[in-house]
Amino acid sequence: MKEKRIDLSTETKIKEAARTVFYKKGFSATRTRDIAEEAGINLALLNYYFRSKEKLFEIIMLETFSAFVQSMTVILNDENTSLENKVELIANRYIDFIIREPEVPTFLISEIRNNPQQLLEKLPVKQIINNSVFFKQHGEAVKQGLIMEPNPLHFLLNLLGLVVFPFIAKPLIMGGQDLDIEQFNALMIERKSLIPIWIAAMMKAK
Amino acid sequence: MKEKRIDLSTETKIKEAARTVFYKKGFSATRTRDIAEEAGINLALLNYYFRSKEKLFEIIMLETFSAFVQSMTVILNDENTSLENKVELIANRYIDFIIREPEVPTFLISEIRNNPQQLLEKLPVKQIINNSVFFKQHGEAVKQGLIMEPNPLHFLLNLLGLVVFPFIAKPLIMGGQDLDIEQFNALMIERKSLIPIWIAAMMKAK
DNA sequence: ATTTGTTTTAATCATTTGATTAAAACATTT
DNA sequence: AAATGTTTTAATCAAATGATTAAAACAAAT
């Protein structure tokens, strides 16, 4: 029972409507008329405020991707948390986030394939990750023999795979296992405490 | 250097062209004219052979999804392989498969969200998985204390997450880490032997 | 060779869709 | 309240797009 806040400015109404529709259907399947209807505004206002469907999309895309990457980099660059802490934080925050915004992962995956280039230019993921505290801590742990696999990319991919993949497979899991959304979410919440244990075990394995 | 086989029937040419374009751009972003051009045929032939864009898409979708599920269920239902064997087989086969057909995972994820219902009716994933030899073996291993997490769904999600997720994140990994396709694939091939080790360790963890 | 059935083509249709325009409604300033 | 600036609306445009049609090209059967 999501409450529609009624008091937004027209511009904000359009942006939030665009977010809703783009998240659900992707860029190509979204009609500007869908957005106008969702926002309860005249179609021409979309172009009045945002010039074009594409410009509006870019705004939503950049905001969404930034939010996703931002919280990651903040966690990965905290000097005051251990590797174990970081794993817990990422599992907890991302699972909570995706439960609130379940359409975001599939939206990002589907739409990034079109122009990953452009997106990566605007968000310099490269440096942010490679110079991260996380990378240094990982290197240390490898040197001390606490982690067997030396490539930190495998570590990150494993962590994100365990966190994100189940949400991507959600339609199949729910349909294939007759789960309702409550049961599915419960399963994901379980994983918040399981993933750190699993990651710890994996990384020691050889 | 993909060779275009020249000798296909018109119908097959159209279907394979449709596969190529649908995989790359998804249903909504694909124009029937794109498919006609890719196939080197007159636009009207598409409708002559397949009635409509939608019918053609359904054929590709069902074929692709079936292939994906089929090989999974075959492996999961083999009486003659252990749990460990099954993990190895899935990691190996799927990583090889996705390296050959890199657009399939994102295609499936993007398009399944539209009507997961319809797809699951045609492919009864539910029973296939739930009555599988894999489930029985997993239950046994749990009973014997070899596996700590009792829910086999977590097991499957973990395995598939480790296998599939990196391919989904490919544009970000390649762009963000300056890898070319060779280096990326090498990384994935590494994972064929790593994933079974990781899974084994995870499942014993507590 | 003619007839019959099948496949392919060029042209065209009807609808959808992103965008624009001119006017109206509303708000703010003088 | 008149003038000016801003926001919103209804109507419309041009291009794109899925689909159809009628005729042509081709193949097979008689």
Reported as a single tens digit per residue, the pLDDT across A24-83 is 999 999 999 999 999 999 999 999 999 999 999 999 999 999 999 999 999 999 999 999
Instruction: Name the 3-class secondary structure at B79.
Output: coil
Answer yes or no: do B120 and A172 touch at CB < 8 A: yes
How many Cβ atoms are within 10 Å of A151's Cβ, its own excluded?
A: 13
Q: What is the pLDDT of residues B24-39, one digit of tens each?
A: 999 999 999 999 999 9
Q: What domains sit in chain A, N to C, each tagged with a CATH number?
A: 1-51 (1.10.10.60), 58-204 (1.10.357.10)
List, chain by chain, residues whose CB lies under 7 Å from nucleic acid strand D. Answer: A 10, 41-45, 48; B 30-33, 43-44, 47-48, 51-54
Size of interface A-B (CB pairs under 8 A): 137
What is the token pair recorded at B132? 């599988």
CA–CA dist A197, A164 (Å, integer): 17
pLDDT at B2: 38
- Give me the sign of the Cα torsion angle B21, B27, B31, B33: positive
pLDDT at B31: 98
Collect all residues with Cβ–Cβ distance below 8 Å to A125 and sequence separation of at least 6: A69, B172, B175, B176
pLDDT band at B7 (very low <50, low <70, confident <90, very high): low
Which one is predicted more confidently, B56 or A7? B56
The total number of residues written for chain B in this structure: 206
pLDDT band at A202 (very low <50, low <70, confident <90, very high): very high
Q: What is the pLDDT of residues B73-111, one digit of tens each?
A: 999 999 999 999 999 999 999 999 999 999 999 999 999
Place of tokens 């086969």: B93
The answer to whether the beta carbon of residue B41 comes closer than 7 angstroms to any atom of strand C is yes
pLDDT band at B8 (very low <50, low <70, confident <90, very high): confident
* DSSP labels, B35-88: HHHHHTS-HHHHHHHHSSHHHHHHHHHHHHHHHHHHHHHHHHT-TTS-HHHHHH
What is the token pair recorded at A197? 């244990």
Strand C, nucleotides < 7 Å from a protein CB: these are 7-11, 16-22
pLDDT band at A7 (very low <50, low <70, confident <90, very high): low
CA–CA dist B72, B111 (Å, integer): 20
Pick out residues 39-98 of chain A having their CB under 7 A from any atom of nucleic acid strand C.
43-44, 47-48, 51-54
Instruction: Name the 3-class secondary structure at B94.
Output: helix
B166 CB neighbours in chain A (<8 A) are: 157, 161
- Give me the sign of the Cα torsion angle A107, A60, A121, A80: negative
CA–CA dist A189, A200 (Å, integer): 18
pLDDT band at A5 (very low <50, low <70, confident <90, very high): very low
Mutate to test the interface with B, among A72, A87, A108, A110 (most CBs of B within 10 A): A110
* Least confident range of A2-6, A112-116, B162-166: A2-6
